[in-house]
Structure 1
Amino acid sequence: MRSEILPTGQRSFIEEARRAQIIAAAIEVIAAGGFAKASLAAIAKHAGISKGVISYHFAGKDELMEEVVNQIYDTIAERVLTSMKGQETATELLRTQVLSVAGHMRGHRTQLQALGEIFHNLRDAAGKPRYGVQSSEELYTSLERLYELGQRTGEFRSFDIRVMAVTHSAAIDAMFEYWVVHPEHDLDAHAIELADLLESAVK
């Protein structure tokens, strides 16, 4: 990353705005044409800037793709955590997590399409998928804390919290993958059914 950093370690407002513009353009280009066609030149054209501007802020396509994922996930996490504030029981937290992430992504279908393309195509230096189970530890751990709370308070039965965390995560991923392919599918209804299913499984 070659953007100029201020003495405080923070990027300027202009730099942040430009990076956000590039990331937004990347999401739209990936969603519309797929990962392979999302060259830096195509993204620059869509954003109305030169390819050199992208190269100034990002070392290459891989770094830009990772930043797309980071920004989308940070936004989701912020929305979910905000929705969880004030929830007191593990059951409420469980249901809120499922419903809030679905509610947020319902208005950001293009982001889901871009994530799917990146997850299926981006590779690390060894040629292995950059994202997947191996990159989901932080998510699994956060879900484990939720289920552990429910067991500690007596709301939830005894079960392997890692198994539930992995199952929970996979069920949400599958819900979104299905909705991307079938946009007519009722995502809100699906999320409610999923929340009911997870709640029934742990009570």
Structure 2
Amino acid sequence: MAATIATIAELGYHQASFARIAERAGLSSTRLISYHFDGKDELMGQAIATIWGDLAGFMGRRVSAQTTPGGALDTYIRSLVEYIRDHRAEMRAATEIFLNFRPEGGTPAQDAATDLSVLSHVERLLTWGQESGEFGAFNVRVTAMAVQRSLDGLPFLLEADPDADLDEYADELAKLFARATRA
């Protein structure tokens, strides 16, 4: 998986052939890849699952350690920006897969952009804040969408501006959403 992700990040989705992945992995033949994966669709699906699984574990540990909704929201924002900052190759590969992966017989990866279940973790956090009285009244769906999409766009920002100050980005987003959710 590491060779697959690195190859996609460096060469792009369309140039990430089994031959190039095998070469990067130091494999003598593409048959070792074919043995484990039925084709490029399955390999790409596993690559994105690996990246999202790593990201979910990274963030889950940090956010679940928080005892207040405000702390959890701040940590959610900062930890996602930190992951993106420290895992640029993975984020580049995820972006390439997101933009180009069209599995046979399946749905395009872009369907994830319209799947509202991706907002559920942020919506739960915001609801917790409202129910506890720490957060004020606001539309949870709208705010969750604003939080999540401001973070989803960061890999695209880095493509345009690789030297963007991500610590400042995290600080500004955390302050923005702290003000927006304040009781």
Q: With structure 1 as the length reference, what TM-score do the two structures score?
A: 0.82
Residue 176 (structure 1) aligned to one of 150, 155, 160 = 155
Q: Residue deviations 1:60-81, cap 9 Å, x none?
A: 1111111111111111111112
CA distance in 2, matches of 1:88, 1:202: 17
Secondary structure of the equivalent of 2:55?
helix
Name 1:100's counterpart in structure 2: 79
CA contact (8 A) 1:31 1:113 kept: yes
Name 1:46's counterpart in structure 2: 24
CA distance in 2, matches of 1:62, 1:135: 20
CA distance in 1, matches of 2:84, 2:176: 20
Quickly say closer, same or farther: Cα 1:27–1:135, change in 2 above 3 A.
farther
Q: With structure 2 as the length reference, what TM-score do the two structures score?
A: 0.91
Name 2:6's counterpart in structure 1: 28
Structure 1 unaligned regions, length at least 5: 1-22
Asked which structure has the greater RCO (Cα within 8 Å, sep 6+), the reply is 2
How big is the shift at 1:44?
A: 1.0
Residue 42 (structure 2) aligned to one of 60, 63, 83 = 63
Q: Residue deviations 1:152-189, cap 9 Å, x none?
A: 01111222212222221110011232023311111111
Aligned sequence identity (%): 37
Letter in 2 for 1:157: G
The number of residue pairs the alignment matches comes to 180
CA contact (8 A) 2:41 2:104 kept: no
Name 1:18's counterpart in structure 2: none
CA distance in 1, matches of 2:106, 2:55: 28
Name 1:133's counterpart in structure 2: 113
How big is the shift at 1:127?
A: 7.9
Name 1:8's counterpart in structure 2: none
CA distance in 2, matches of 1:95, 1:151: 15
CA distance in 1, matches of 2:70, 2:87: 26
User: Comparing 103-112 with 145-154, which one deviates more in the overlay?
Assistant: 103-112
CA contact (8 A) 1:84 1:93 kept: yes
Quickly say closer, same or farther: Cα 1:86–1:130, change in 2 above 3 A.
closer
CA contact (8 A) 1:98 1:191 kept: yes
Name 2:56's counterpart in structure 1: 77
CA distance in 2, matches of 1:173, 1:64: 23
Structure 2 residue 89 is the aligned partner of structure 1 residue 110 = yes
Secondary structure of the equivalent of 2:24?
helix
Letter in 1 for 2:54: T
Structure 2 residue 182 is the aligned partner of structure 1 residue 198 = no
Name 1:10's counterpart in structure 2: none
Secondary structure of the equivalent of 1:125?
coil
